[in-house]
Structure 1
Amino acid sequence: MGNNRLAAALALALGMVIAAWLLADGLVKFKQFERSVEVKGLAEREVPADTAIWPIAFSEAESDLTRLYQSLQGKNAIIINFLQAQGFKPEEISVSAPSITDRQAQDYGSAELANRLRYSGKSVVTVYTRQVDAVRKAMPELAVLGEQGIALNTGDYENRARFLFTGLNALKPAMIEEATRNARQAAEKFAKDSDSSLGKIKRASQGQFSIEDRDGSTAHIKKVRVVSTVDYFLAD
């Protein structure tokens, strides 16, 4: 009876060892069969911006609030006339509500300064246009406004001209195709160098498109970029 139990236990243990060996061998074969390579393909384009947003901001200071508003309105009109003379249409030009600060109420500076120039105001005239070249041509002419007594806030970061590219959807199909093709070429080279053959696609993912300035001095030229990631099966 004891011998039978011992034999059964040995048989069970041997069966478990054999099963484990078969499972391990199956996993190794499975991994070999699933052998793959991950590659990335890049596509880039340089394109001109097709839209410009150009804010022209200026500041004024007055001791009388009514005179401050009148001054802001008068100088807004000068800027609008300047822009129309540069070829911009009325519908491309907008004027924001003025920002007014009461220095006395906020206790800025000395009492003498507060009484003399109690109010300060800022106004912004913005051009939103697809005439990118016209904006670039007009920007150096802003000195004309300074000669007319307008204190422009040209150094403020928020008042910088911005150039946009809005035609991404038209570029997407060709760029995705190019990125995928470049990824395949990289995979084919890897397969050749490793004495393998390239199989089907195991998995593919498309990265996000990015649009950036080409460099710091040419914001009107954009670099469009996308990276595709593709996994290919490999076979001996």
Structure 2
Amino acid sequence: MTTSRSSNAVIFTIGAIISAGLLSYGLSNSVQNFRSFDRVVEVKGLAEREVKADTAIWPLKVVRAGNTQNTIYEELDKDIQAVRAFLLVNGFDETELSVSAPNVLDKLAERWATEDVGLRYTGEQTLTVYTEKVDRVRELRQQLSELGKQGVSLSGNNYESAVEYHFNGLNAIKPSMIEESARNAREVALRFAEHSESQLGKIRSANQGQFSIYDRDSNTPHLKIVRVVSTVSYQLVD
């Protein structure tokens, strides 16, 4: 009986030692894996392209003032037809032109009006060019004095007459720019791993930032900068 109890005690002790060893190994291995998993470097990769605008929106506003409404409407219509003819003879199509309704203001009808308003009526109307002929727009803007010589009264408001330049070809360059930003991010991560005497492991997470398009500078709004930043997290291993 005593011998049996002693044998059981020995077996129990041996089992406890083995279990403790396995548990210790498992915990040690888990800690090492956790530390390895926790070593992460987050880097950003930039890709930029300079592109040329492929669409232009050019508003040409004519303005008139007078003492009779009929005169204002007639002069606005005459000016708009002159602007239209000028554009058509210089390479634009009817499909690229649109004309707004005329807007005529009676100054005496305003709440703040007094008898001394000068010319009673002012009117304006806009012809807008929507085109892909960006270079032609830029060239023709330098020749607007020809319309002035014809008696056309164009608005001198720089804001209202400013040309909008847009780039609509983003989808065509997106894949290559995403690839470039990811490649640049990896190069940064590789240099970091090298300096920390580690190796680059698998990607933990990746985030592609939004594309942004803006003017290269205020003097050349027809030239755009397309930019994207990708953020990538890599695991570092020994």
Q: Aligned equivalents of 2:121 and 2:232: distance in 1?
A: 62
Structure 1 residue 149, shift from structure 2 partner:
2.4
Match of 2:230 in 1: 228
CA separation in 2, counterparts of 1:142 and 1:28? 75
Aligned residue for 1:11?
Answer: none
Matches within 5 A, 1:164-203: 164-203=166-205
The question of 1:127 aligning with 2:129 is answered: yes
Post-superposition CA distance 1:112-163 (Å, at most 9, x none): 33xx521111111110001111101100111112222223223341331011
Gaps of 5+ in 1: 1-21
State the 1:110 CA deviation.
4.0
Q: Which residue of 1 aligns with 2:3?
A: none
Q: Deviations over 1:95-121 (max 9, x none)?
A: 1111221100104554133xx521111
Counterpart among 47, 55, 58 of residue 59 in structure 2: 55
Q: How far apart, in 2, do the equivalents of 1:109 and 1:83 lie?
A: 38
Show CA shifts across 1:7-48 (max 9, x none).
xxxxxxxxxxxxxxx99x967862443210000001111111
How far residue 207 of structure 1 moved from its aligned partner, in angstroms, is: 0.4
State the TM-score, normalizing by the size of structure 1: 0.84
> Any conservation in 1 of the 2:55–2:168 contact (CA below 8 Å)?
yes
CA distance in 2: counterparts of 1:146 and 1:74, whole angstroms: 13
Q: Is the 8 A contact 1:154 1:160 kept in 2?
A: no
Distance 1:185 1:158 in 2: 46
Which stretch of the first structure deviates more once superposed, 120-129 or 28-37?
28-37
* Paired residues, number: 213
- TM-score for the superposition, normalised by structure 2: 0.84
Return the match for 1:72 from 76, 88, 98: 76
Aligned with 2:86 (options 82, 88, 111): 82
Contact 2:82/2:152, CA 8 A, preserved across alignment? no
- In the alignment, structure 2 segments of 5+ residues that lack a partner are 1-25
Q: Structure 1 stretch 162-171 or stretch 142-151: which is displaced more? A: 142-151
Q: Distance in 2 between matches of 1:104 and 1:226?
A: 54
Tell me the alpha carbon deviations over residues 202-234 of structure 1, each in whole angstroms, 9 at most, x when there is no partner.
Answer: 000000001111111111111111100000000
Which residue in 2 is equivalent to 1:159?
Answer: 161
Question: Which residue of structure 2 lines up, in the alignment, with residue 33 of structure 1?
Answer: 37
Compute the RMSD of aligned alpha carbons: 2.0
